Structure 1
């Protein structure tokens, strides 16, 4: 609805008929700074006499004013209202209007002035919107640089101060969740935006950062907001849809700027382990996978164990694959032969035969607790080290 303009008395004609109009226009536009009219009244005065439209350099000046208004926090509506107020307030004082001798002269001056006002408003909007786009791009650049430093562990001394700009408090403990999907998630893409928006609608998103890193969708949240990781996983599931191939790795809580990096590394390690071991489910917590990290910490010893215990399986008919699969399912099902058979869609006798073949080839039997433990750890090691494929690739 159009705003009803209050009557404002224009200055009397004198040495400068346009004097004081800028200030009047600023008040009529609810306090928009009058200096944003810089040169505009003089341009209108010229147009009213020459009947020519604004020159390119004059339109550039309006675009610059629009950009300046955006930088100063003046609304687009406000800066355009200022110029329109100045146009109608200056109308009777414009040289071309004061010198008009008949109605045709007034009409011609009016058409020229209001076309110029329309062109000026368009130029103001263009400059304003370009400044806004630049501001957004600059903010995105700052955000990207901050995220990279945060998750790469660079410039730790400055991170806490910079984090406040994005609502993060790095003095406390934070946890990091990272999503890896079949299709990498891009910064500002549809998946990242949808998850961030949905998460903000369901939890207090202050202190929560949703971003991307090397194709991963990442969520940083305070340890005190324990509900965020599970809600984050739910929103990922909703956005990606049923049947999508994705996993969430969740790091442990650590304090300080460096703590975010540690939690992020734990989250990505959890993803790697879950993928290598084909662990069921979507959410994998680093705290639940510590035993696998212990195994990987001494990969040379783990490789020796795999080689000593499992290498003889390569001599089996059909290779080591079927026997490894059977061992893995057997241990995963609590060493219950029937459950293993159901999972593998095999007969119980076939499972029993394969376990006997393992004992014959390796000398390790699942019936002996100590030997069964060695077999179980060796099978886990084989998955973590991608054995026997890794041996096949070795020179």
Structure 2
């Protein structure tokens, strides 16, 4: 083996090899100085770093050269030396320069050593040192990749915790400027491909994770961005929460994400103006998820506002007030004939003729009034699902807005 004949490898080093290592030791100072000069000359970005960052890089370079000398003297005793050479740099080192730039630094330093040792060492030492340097450079490259991989894992874990904190703040209604700042740190802009800043919250059951499966949050974020929306995603117990930004059509985006949710309903909250107002959307989506089992035929995904009657029956006060104000309230305006007509129509089992007889009016008059009800409220009494919503709205309106002399619950 070349390494054995050169005097380094397994076994006891020869006197000639130890003498060669001592001569190399004496050249470390000149090599470190030459390495910094080569970086400054060949790497344009190096000169733009702060003095502190350049100092840290200089320490790493010097540590690497010193570690090479120790490794060259006895590779078996210093087998972990390439990995330890990065120990002199702070954790922020990986944020200052990229992995690509680190590779440039290593390449520049190695080329400098190969070109310089001929002037610092005897001719008979040069081939041996160059061969050892090639082996050592490979180990250093693996060590650098390990350092950056660990840093990426730590950043990924921290980002996941921060994202979960942001989503939790939205769900609990604690979104403020600090939450906006944290979301920005995660790359959230709130603007999709349309440039809109509107936000909607989507809630569904969490998928059953399998060993070795991809991170669901990462996949959902990627799918949302592919569909043209920004996204924040977090698992909260048995539910998956996705905050969509930059889209006025969250249901269409949610359809693209449905495969990543667990079985059961997926509820899309109403669109709000920005992340600060997202609690309104989150509250409706969570209440909708709780009430969705009462409507087995609900589409998947379903809008939270389509579940207003079920949400009201499950105890959602916001849904009750929304039905009372947005559906019942407009029907009471004027002489109240629309309210009387839709009430008689529902009580008659959905028969226009029976309603006309009960109110002593023509059937066409009933049809006209029911059409007006649909125009004013957005719910058509002729549609069974809308009729159910209207019936619940009438009940909620009468409970929350009792006539004089009655007792409200």
Quote the offset at 1:126 in angstroms: 1.6
Aligned to 1:84: 107
Quote the offset at 1:245 in angstroms: 3.7
- Residues 1:151 and 1:114: Cα distance change in structure 2 (over 3 Å): same
Deviations 1:153-187 (A, max 9, x none): 3464522332333425599753212123674899x
Q: Residue 25 of structure 1 contacts residue 83 of structure 1 at CA under 8 Å; is this kept in 2?
A: no
CA distance in 1, matches of 2:280, 2:265: 19
Aligned to 1:263: 281
CA distance in 2, matches of 1:265, 1:81: 51
Are positions 1:71 and 2:85 aligned together? no
Aligned CA RMSD, in angstroms, stands at: 4.4
CA distance in 1, matches of 2:133, 2:298: 72
Report the more deviating stretch, 135-144 or 29-38. 29-38
CA distance in 2, matches of 1:283, 1:119: 52
The equivalent position to 2:161 in structure 1, one of 141, 147, 165, is: 141
Q: 1:174-323, aligned counterparts within 5 Å?
A: 174-180=199-205, 183=208, 189-203=214-228, 205-206=229-230, 208-222=231-245, 225-237=247-259, 245-254=263-272, 259-297=277-315
The equivalent position to 1:27 in structure 2, one of 38, 41, 48, is: 41
Quote the offset at 1:270 in angstroms: 1.5
More relative contact order in 1 or in 2 (CA 8 Å, sep 6+)?
A: 1
Q: Residue 233 of structure 2 contacts residue 240 of structure 2 at CA under 8 Å; is this kept in 1?
A: yes
Are positions 1:37 and 2:61 aligned together? yes
Aligned to 2:372: none
Quote the offset at 1:275 in angstroms: 0.5
Aligned to 1:368: none
Q: Residue 180 of structure 1 contacts residue 215 of structure 1 at CA under 8 Å; is this kept in 2?
A: yes
CA distance in 1, matches of 2:82, 2:215: 40
Q: 1:50-61, aligned counterparts within 5 Å?
A: 50=73, 52=75, 54=78, 56=80, 59-61=83-85
- Residues 1:47 and 1:29: Cα distance change in structure 2 (over 3 Å): farther
Deviations 1:220-261 (A, max 9, x none): 234x72223222224314x57xxx843221222345656322
Q: Residue 28 of structure 1 contacts residue 82 of structure 1 at CA under 8 Å; is this kept in 2?
A: no
Deviations 1:61-85 (A, max 9, x none): 235559654221x222321332232
Q: Residue 209 of structure 1 contacts residue 220 of structure 1 at CA under 8 Å; is this kept in 2?
A: yes
- Residues 1:266 and 1:189: Cα distance change in structure 2 (over 3 Å): farther
Are positions 1:62 and 2:82 aligned together? no
- Residues 1:87 and 1:183: Cα distance change in structure 2 (over 3 Å): closer
- Residues 1:270 and 1:45: Cα distance change in structure 2 (over 3 Å): closer
Quote the offset at 1:202 in angstroms: 2.4
Q: Which runs of 5+ in 2 are unaligned?
A: 1-25, 47-53, 318-345, 352-386, 397-409
Deviations 1:310-343 (A, max 9, x none): xxxxxxxxxxxxxxxxxxxxx9xx769xxxxxxx
Q: Residue 69 of structure 1 contacts residue 128 of structure 1 at CA under 8 Å; is this kept in 2?
A: no
For the residue of structure 2 that corresponds to 1:252, the secondary structure is: coil
Quote the offset at 1:14 in angstroms: 10
Are positions 1:118 and 2:142 aligned together? no
- Residues 1:75 and 1:68: Cα distance change in structure 2 (over 3 Å): same
Quote the offset at 1:40 in angstroms: 2.6
For the residue of structure 2 that corresponds to 1:38, the secondary structure is: helix
Deviations 1:120-165 (A, max 9, x none): 2222222222122212222222222222222223464522332333
Aligned to 1:364: none
CA distance in 2, matches of 1:192, 1:138: 14
- Residues 1:29 and 1:216: Cα distance change in structure 2 (over 3 Å): same
Report the more deviating stretch, 18-27 or 252-261. 252-261
The size of the alignment, in residue pairs, is: 285
Quote the offset at 1:24 in angstroms: 0.9
For the residue of structure 2 that corresponds to 1:176, the secondary structure is: strand
Q: Which runs of 5+ in 1 are unaligned?
A: 1-12, 300-330, 337-371, 382-395
Q: Residue 21 of structure 1 contacts residue 89 of structure 1 at CA under 8 Å; is this kept in 2?
A: yes
CA distance in 1, matches of 2:161, 2:70: 43
TM-score, normalized by length of structure 1? 0.58
Quote the offset at 1:28 in angstroms: 3.0
Aligned to 1:99: 122
